[in-house]
Amino acid sequence: MLQRPRRNRKSEVIRQMVQETHISAANLIFPLFIVDGVSKKSEVASMPGIFRYSIDNLLREVEACAKLGLMSFDLFPNIEESLKDRFATESHREESLYLRAIREVKKNFPEVCVVTDVAMDPYSSDGHDGLVENGEILNDETLEILGKMALAHARAGADIVAPSDMMDGRVGYIRRVLDDHQFTNVSIMSYSAKYASAFYGPFRDALESAPKFGDKKTYQMNPANQREALIEANLDEMEGADFLMVKPALSYLDVIKLLKDNTELPIAAYNVSGEYAMVKAAAQRGWLDERRTTVEVLTSIRRAGATSILTYHAKEVLEKGWI
Ligand code: PBG
């Protein structure tokens, strides 16, 4: 035998020498849930180790993460039911929990990167990502609301706005609104290929944002489709996106690879709540080795072609020295 691939696996040093894929703190974005009030820190039942923080504790958490080299955060608000309405008015109210949180994080830690979620669902009395009329999710009317949200986020100090709503034309619309208001330096990370996935369940528990009727299949993509992701990705790129995101990640590694091969833009992947919950649940029962499973999941997402990963594992893998 001239070729014996096992020779390159014979020692730890050689294995590391030929390792193709690495994960570092710089690649990770940590999603954080926020809730109104003071000194609050409540664990999400379906996401062990993940908490909803009031702003004071959010700042402590950001500081602790920054000490570990984890510098990018994606914020999501849990909004009281009484503040929700059809138009998600709370999403662009100056003194809203979310806008205060962005301002506080950027004021206290100007060097961190704040990614903000642009979608109506946490603020919508319908629990949908768009404006609802007669059971239908309106597209163009929703864009106006998303534009107001993105602008409010930019004014509060967001570094990157991330539209997660899957309305048609939203990247171009938001880019125009930001540019018209001199926010040419605010980036757009588009949830380009966002699938109508069962893996978002724990996230909706965390935010209490599940749709009040129906599902999200008229705007989020069918999990059976791959080529359709290219249509979405091409549109987002033409409309001015700075990053393209695939979500979820683990069941969609083929989509990550496909986009990687078809764009020069950086690809982000969202290792979503349900993917996190699966690993945690199995680990708690002793059915999976948590450390090895977690590192393997993140490595696979990077290997498929994701430059950055939004993951609930971000802090833990650094704290425990797993990566
Ligand atoms: C809402 C949004 C969702 C997630 C991120 N932004 C849920 C949804 O679309 O219903 C899910 C993230 C996760 O599951 O971790 N626009």
- pLDDT digit string, tens, across residues 139-160: 999 999 999 999 999 999 999 9
Structure tokens, 225: 């489709």
Ligand 1, atom nearest to 31 Cα: 15
pLDDT at res. 56: 98
* DSSP secondary structure code for residue 85 in this structure: B
173-197 pLDDT tens trace: 999 999 999 999 999 999 999 999 9
Ligand 1 centroid from CA 11, angstroms? 42
Q: Which long-range contacts (CB under 8 A, 24 or more apart) does 14-23 make?
A: 20/303, 21/299, 21/302, 21/303, 22/302, 23/295, 23/298, 23/299, 23/302, 23/309, 23/317, 23/323
Protein residue with its CA nearest to atom 10 in ligand 1:
200
* Distant-in-sequence, close-in-space partners of 265: CB < 8 Å, separation ≥ 6: 237, 241, 242, 243, 244
Q: Point out the residues of the chain with pLDDT beneath 50.
A: none
Is the residue at 310 inside a domain? yes
Is the residue at 92 inside a domain? yes
Is the residue at 7 inside a domain? no
Ligand 1 site, residue 88, Cβ cutoff 6 A: no
* DSSP secondary structure code for residue 165 in this structure: S
Structure tokens, 71: 């510098």
**Cβ contact 54:34 at 8 Å:** yes
Ligand 1 centroid from CA 295, angstroms? 23
> What does the alpha-carbon distance between residue 15 and residue 6 come to, in Å, rounded to a whole number?
10
Ligand 1 site, residue 245, Cβ cutoff 6 A: no
> What does the alpha-carbon distance between residue 42 and residue 54 come to, in Å, rounded to a whole number?
9
Ligand 1 centroid from CA 57, angstroms? 23
The range of the structural domain enclosing residue 276 comes to 22-319
Output the DSSP codes for 102-124: HHHHHHH-TTSEEEEEE-STTTB
Neighbours of 142 (CB within 10 A): 27
Ligand 1 site, residue 200, Cβ cutoff 6 A: yes
Is the residue at 11 inside a domain? no
Ligand 1 site, residue 275, Cβ cutoff 6 A: no
Active site residues: 194, 247
Ligand 1, atom nearest to 310 Cα: 15
Ligand 1 site, residue 117, Cβ cutoff 6 A: yes
Is the residue at 15 inside a domain? no
Look up the CATH number of the domain holding residue 220.
3.20.20.70
Residue 240's closest CA among 180, 196, 194, 197? 180
Ligand 1, atom nearest to 202 Cα: 14
pLDDT at res. 190: 98
pLDDT at res. 109: 98
pLDDT at res. 292: 98
Ligand 1 centroid from CA 200, angstroms? 6
ipTM for the complex? 0.97
> What does the alpha-carbon distance between residue 162 and residue 149 come to, in Å, rounded to a whole number?
11
With a threshold of 0.95, does the pTM exceed it?
yes
pLDDT at res. 89: 98
Is the residue at 33 inside a domain? yes
237 labelled binding-site residue: no
Protein residue with its CA nearest to atom 8 in ligand 1:
200
Is the residue at 204 inside a domain? yes
Is the residue at 10 inside a domain? no
- Number of folded domains in the chain? 1
